[in-house]
Amino acid sequence: MASDSKEGRKYLEEVIRKATWKKHLVSSRRQPDQRSSRHYHFGAWYDLFGNNLTLTSETIQRSNEAGKAAVADFCIWFKNFAKHKILPLVIDPSSGLCPEFHSKLNDRMEVHFPWAARKVPGLQKVCHPLYSTIAAINGLSGKAHRDLKDADGSMLVNFGQTVLLELSNLNCCIKLQPLDIVIFRTNLLKHRTIESPNQPKVNRLSPVRWAVACFFRKALELKKEPKRHDILFYMDRAEEEYESRRNQKNRRRKPKQAKNDLLEAKNEENKDKQRYIMGAKQFEEEARELQQDGQQSRSEDSAQAQRRSVRLQKRNK
């Protein structure tokens, strides 16, 4: 996993250099080291009033070709990291994951993510079915907070340095080593990451602390439709309605069509009988004609034979 960390850090540095990002509110960046940190959100997002559901602007990187390439590299790297490092914890009943999270995360992959992917074109390219959105965090998080709009079962992957995950509700801290993965309720537990007191003094050669938070928006789990839609939504809806009307029409026509098919079959059967009868009559007529022709031919042959006999008798006299 150490090689995964180095590879991921390389991709994140490219994102930091080339991609545009949305700054956090000042209230969430109280300390100097926190003010210099960056959070990039990649994946699905509802806007503030729930009007739109799209990929985040940090994912799209409009008019920024270099940023698009950097974001794509990072998202694909982490998608494969999740597949090989996080997914086994979810699908293995003996991994130690609590049964509730095991059930919720499997439902997310099988039910909720497919729905979200239909609503957000391209989401299945950006994200693994375990999450709808990721936050790439360079540095420590801001003040302690709860993510009220996230569904149960968010994941945090720690990279670079040892830190403490502070859980204010529980009045405790969890020590996270590099490459540790923690799954918890970010919507319930007030949390933040802080420096570990035992962490060696940071210098320019020290690895930089960074992390990836993976979460699934609660509104997606509830299948909440946005207030506004793009043309693809209306195309899909029109197609579904058209097919529904067509199927209903076919169901209404089915009994009548079956009756018509039966009548048509009977008509064909009657036509076959008529053709058979007509064929038999025609055969009988042709047979009678042949018989009459045969009788006439024999009569003509007999008359002709009699005439020859008379001529021979005359010659003999």
Given this model, what pLDDT does residue 227 score? Answer: 81
Per-residue pLDDT tens digits of the chain, which is 317 residues long: 668 889 999 999 999 999 998 765 444 444 444 445 688 999 999 987 778 899 999 999 999 999 999 999 999 999 999 999 999 999 998 999 999 999 999 999 999 999 999 999 999 999 999 999 999 999 888 789 999 999 999 999 999 899 999 999 999 999 999 999 999 999 999 999 999 887 666 555 567 889 999 999 999 999 998 888 778 778 888 998 898 888 887 777 666 666 777 778 778 777 777 776 776 677 677 667 777 766 666 666 666 767 666 666 666 65
CB distance 120 to 55 below 8 Å: yes
Given this model, what pLDDT does residue 28 score? Answer: 44
Given this model, what pLDDT does residue 186 score? Answer: 96
Q: Are 218 and 246 found together in one domain?
A: no
Return the DSSP state at 304: H
Q: Are 221 and 277 found together in one domain?
A: no
Q: Are 223 and 308 found together in one domain?
A: no
| Domain membership of residue 307 as a residue range | 229-316
> Is the full-model pTM beyond 0.75?
no
Q: Are 125 and 210 found together in one domain?
A: yes
**Strand 154-159 relative to strand 181-184: parallel, antiparallel, unpaired?**
antiparallel
Which residue from 82, 175, 92, 166 is spatially nearest to 132, judged by alpha carbons? 82
Query: H-helix or E-strand containing 9?
Result: helix 2-18
Domain boundary among 193, 212, 228: 228
Q: Are 125 and 165 found together in one domain?
A: yes
Q: Are 97 and 204 found together in one domain?
A: yes
Using CA of residue 130, residue 149, residue 177, residue 36, what is the dihedral sign?
Answer: positive
Question: Tokens 């025609």 sit at which residue?
Answer: 282
Q: Are 114 and 241 found together in one domain?
A: no
Q: To 10 degrees, what angle do helices 2-18 and 65-81 make?
A: 160
Domain boundary among 228, 243, 260: 228
CATH code of the domain covering residue 30:
2.60.120.10
Q: Are 141 and 281 found together in one domain?
A: no
Q: Are 201 and 300 found together in one domain?
A: no
Domain count, the chain: 2
Q: Are 244 and 127 found together in one domain?
A: no
Q: Are 83 and 126 found together in one domain?
A: yes
Query: H-helix or E-strand containing 30?
Result: none
CA angle 8, 58, 29 (to 5 degrees): 80
Q: Are 146 and 295 found together in one domain?
A: no
Domain boundary among 172, 194, 228: 228
